[in-house]
Amino acid sequence: MVGGIVGEFFSLKEETDAELLAMQCGDFYEFFADDAELVAEELDLNISHKSSHGSSYPMAGVPVADLTPYVTALVERGYRVAIADQYETADGHAREITRVVTPGTLLETSDADAQYLAAVVSGTDGYGLAFVDVTTGRFYVAEVADADGVLTELYRFNPAEVLPGPEGRTDELLLERIRGEGTTLTLHTAEAFAPGRARYTVQTQFGDGATDSLGVGDLAVQAAGGALSYIEETGSGVLASITRLQQIGDGEYVELDGTTQRNLELTETMSGERTGSLLDTVDHTATSAGRRLLAEWLTRPTREQNTLKRRQESVGALAEAAMARDRLRETLDGAYDLERLASRAASGSATARDLRAAAETLSLLSTLETLVAETPSLADSALADVVSRPDTETAATLAATLDAAIVEEPPGTITQGDIFRNGYDDELDELIAEHESVKRWLADLPDREKRRTGITHLSVDRNKTDGYYMQVGKSEVENVPDEYQHVKTLKNSKRYTTPELEAKEREILRLEERRHEFERELFEELRDEVAGHAALLQSVGRALAEVDVLASFATHAVRNDWRRPELHEGCALDIQAGRHPVVEQTTAFVPNDLRLDSERRFLIVTGPNMSGKSTYMRQAALITLLAQVGSFVPAERAHVGLVDGIYTRVGALDELAQGRSTFMVEMQELSNILHSATEDSLVILDEVGRGTATYDGISIAWAATEYLHNSVGAKTLFATHYHELTTLADHLDRVGNVHIAADESDGDVTFLRTVRDGPTDRSYGVHVADLAGVPDPVVERSADVLEKLREEKAIEARGGGGEPVQAVFDLGSGQFQSTNDESETGAINDERERDQPTVESKYGAGVETVLSELSELDINETPPVELLARVQEWQRELE
């Protein structure tokens, strides 16, 4: 048993399941033992050693005033940090854990993005979810049917911390996926999720009727209760800012599963970068709250036509009013993050500067209102409703109250006074007047004394040990009057005090303390008043963010010539001269048309590799998505039938780069689409069945096409390298073919990037092999083989000893048949192990091996993943 301070540290550590404990020891927070080493390493702190009962323990500390940034840095790296504060007791002091700061409950985050804490509970008929952003007080609940639904929401909210309910702790598959995202998993006490207890917690927070009026299901209530209880337990004191319970997933939104959000690169690219995402491209917001809202809209497009029309109307009006837009932006530039402020006021961490900023931001609302009212095109648009939606009167009153209370440039702390304006509180003013008068008395003291005593070098000062004193130069000490009492002798001077000075000293200390104490109390009162208006701050913050996002859409539309899409409830999607919103930023983009309607719902897209098939299909999905967010779109004209979901599945090759390509994943995604899509959905399939052998692949792609066409009826774009599928258009009514044109002359392929009706005549794989740097002899021989196959449907294996083997390509079966094979069924591929031709050396053994392997390789029979691997192997061999 370790005693002393280190012993206390260990016993406090027992009380918490946080990874780290910071324990206050006077003016420092200290970490000991393993914690000290970890923290020193993470934060580059110095380690010292603390001896305790004959042992020595590593120790690392940070000054009390610096705790927040250090803890923030640790928590942002995924650690949970418990904080034990020291407090005075009758016989000395004691310590207890007052807070646990965790990734999902961190208030002082350095990141402007939303920061969610999630709770997930499972039951017999699905899952309940709760998502809370303690920095803004947002609180959402949902119920979903299966684990995929959970993952979809987890992907969208991207929580920093997840609390699985008691049953979820054994759901290894789910836990694995959560951990895979680098999210902190916390096992909060199981009782908090129990139905009765959770319901009680939720009702205490939101009022008795909240769950009933929203029709929130039991599982969602359990999740919500668990999350609220956890927030309370961590002691951040932020519950008061969580004022509104919102339910998601009631059919208002477009279904967008995690895979689709990733494939469409909505908030980050497939490689995890922000730059190059849709969000990054269209973001011209001026505030962090605006950016958060933009991200929310992009990942949650809606089907509510009225909402969309109102947004479009505002964007249109803003696009036309360039001057007003500039002024709006300037106004927003000065806005402070009100949603976050509401949380800080509730948790008691807001300073006078925060409240000053809140006042200024609240008053921006009326600036915006005036601006909108004065611009005729805006005044008549839906934007006017956005700025007048919050309770503007109360907002103005609160802004005026705060403005009248707090000085223009308040200090960063609330314990040193100088917070309030003169006239805010009579008692405070009196106290200040008294304080100031004593201060003046002291300030005038040296002159008074000089005059009275004739001493020329006399000053008044104060320090910690001597208190207030008068200091007289050595040469004049003879002249000090009798009532001066000697305090201290220095080298060149002496210090004195007088009974009067001592009395004033007591007075000034008393006044100073009372003044600071009183200001702090008044401030806390004011802060509580602001916390009581958390819902108002959130609604003003939300309105400002909305204006910011709408203005951002307008700016982007003007700069990039985006147009307002026409929305309708039908199924047609008609895009004229459409572009890809992200690719057009960096490329001279060739616009393309797209038309899908009730007669033509399913398009098979063919064309050479790299010709632009993926881009074309994603462009269709992104234009639909942007239209359902309320934005303008990159097209000359777009007629968008509102969809209930967008589903995508991208090819094995793209995913290979991510290192997560397996045929199983591909089929799971396909299965999800076939189960979930409806006739109102948009489905994008970028290669299906590539991860398996040709016949399996074609069969699956064929059957999936039939199913989507006959049973689901979803609008579908399907890019495939199986040319066989293009014949489906002849058999299925609503299937059409388009291809992306390329020009081939003198063996060079030029991509035209233009989409034309009808299937492509062939693929250009050899050309791509050339581009990829496959050695010339190989490329030339491939071109040769291809040519022969096209013309003669036959090819002879080169360089083999003995009988040359003639192989004929049978179009019907898609296989090579050996002409020497009498049975007609033995494909060369099956025989190749046994029939290895011996190679006559012309280029050296290595090259010959590669050549022979290459000529034997059946492209149709080899999954592309393996193809790539083999090409790489050959390249290595040739080097």
CB of 278 to ligand ADP, least distance (A): 15
Q: Which of 460, 509, 610, 752 binds ligand ADP (CB under 6 A)?
A: 610
Q: How far is the CB of 10 from ligand ADP (least distance, A)?
A: 58
C-alpha distances (whole Å) from 201 to each of 163, 191, 195, 271, 815 are 16, 12, 10, 41, 67
Closer to ligand ADP by Cβ: residue 410 or 651: 651
Considering the complex, state which of residue 547 and residue 774 has its C-beta at the smaller distance from ligand ADP: 774
Nearest to 540 by CA among 341, 378, 400: 341
Q: Between 493 and 614, whose beta carbon lies closer to ligand ADP?
A: 614
| Residues 6+ positions from 92 with CB-CB distance below 8 Å | none
Do the Cβ atoms of 617 and 719 come closer than 8 Å? yes
Stretch that binds ligand ADP, among 7-15, 248-256, 504-512, 610-618 (CB under 6 A): 610-618
Give the strands of the sheet with 566-568, arranged side by side: 566-568, 635-641, 573-578, 592-596
Cβ 583 to ligand ADP shortest distance, Å: 5
- Residue 587 or 598 with smaller CB distance to ligand ADP: 587
Number of residues that bind ligand ADP (CB under 6 A): 14
Among 45, 583, 674, 865, binds ligand ADP (CB under 6 A): 583
DSSP states of 6-70: HHHHHHHHHH---SEEEEEETTEEEEEHHHHHHHHHHHTPPPEEEEETTEEEEEEEEEGGGHHHH
When the beta carbons of 653 and 828 are compared against ligand ADP, the nearer one is: 653
Q: Which is nearer to ligand ADP, 210 or 868 (CB)?
A: 868
Quick one: which segment of 143-151, 421-429, 586-594, 816-824 binds ligand ADP (CB under 6 A)? 586-594
Among 225, 607, 630, 759, binds ligand ADP (CB under 6 A): 607
For residue 275, the minimal CB distance to ligand ADP (Å) is: 16
Considering beta carbons, is residue 116 or 616 the nearer one to ligand ADP? Answer: 616
Residue 612 sits in the site that holds ligand ADP (CB under 6 A) = yes
- The four Cα atoms 410, 415, 420, 425 give a dihedral, to 10 degrees, of 170
Alpha carbon separation from 615 to 412, 414, 572, 685, 849 (Å, rounded): 51, 56, 20, 12, 38
Nearest to 595 by CA among 726, 720, 725, 717: 717
Q: Does 613 bind ligand ADP (CB under 6 A)?
A: yes
Least Å distance, CB 610 to ligand ADP, is 4
Q: Binding string, 651-690, against ligand ADP, x = CB under 6 A?
A: ----------------------------------------
Task: Return the amino acid letter for 112.
Answer: A
Task: Retrieve residue 462's tokens.
Answer: 């104060």
Sheet holding 246-247, edge to edge: 184-185, 161-164, 117-123, 126-133, 138-144, 246-247
Residue list 741-780, contact with ligand ADP (CB under 6 A): 753
CA atoms in the 13 A half-sphere facing the CB of 172: 0
Of 112, 590, 794, 865, the residue at the interface with ligand ADP (CB under 6 A) is 590
- Eight-class DSSP state of 838: P
Q: How far is the CB of 614 from ligand ADP (least distance, A)?
A: 3
**Whether the Cβ atoms of residue 539 and residue 246 lie closer than 8 Å to each other:** no
* 615 touches ligand ADP (CB under 6 A): yes
The nearer residue to ligand ADP, 301 or 607, going by C-beta atoms, is 607
Token pair of 181 as six digits:
């995202």
Closest approach, Cβ 643 to ligand ADP, in A, equals 22
Rg over CA atoms, the chain: 36
User: Does 261 participate in binding ligand ADP (rule CB under 6 A)?
Assistant: no
- Pick the piece of the chain touching ligand ADP (CB under 6 A) from 13-21, 362-370, 395-403, 583-591: 583-591
Give the separation between CA 625 and CA 282, rounded to whole angstroms: 13
Stretch that binds ligand ADP, among 78-86, 227-235, 496-504, 602-610 (CB under 6 A): 602-610
Distance between CA atoms of residues 615 and 491, nearest Å: 84
Q: SS3 of 449, please?
A: helix
Taking the complex as a whole, the smallest distance from the CB of residue 368 to ligand ADP amounts, in Å, to 39
Q: Is 36:47 a contact under the CB 8 Å cutoff? A: yes
User: In the complex, which residues of this chain contact ligand ADP (CB under 6 A)?
Assistant: 583, 587, 589-590, 592, 607, 609-615, 753
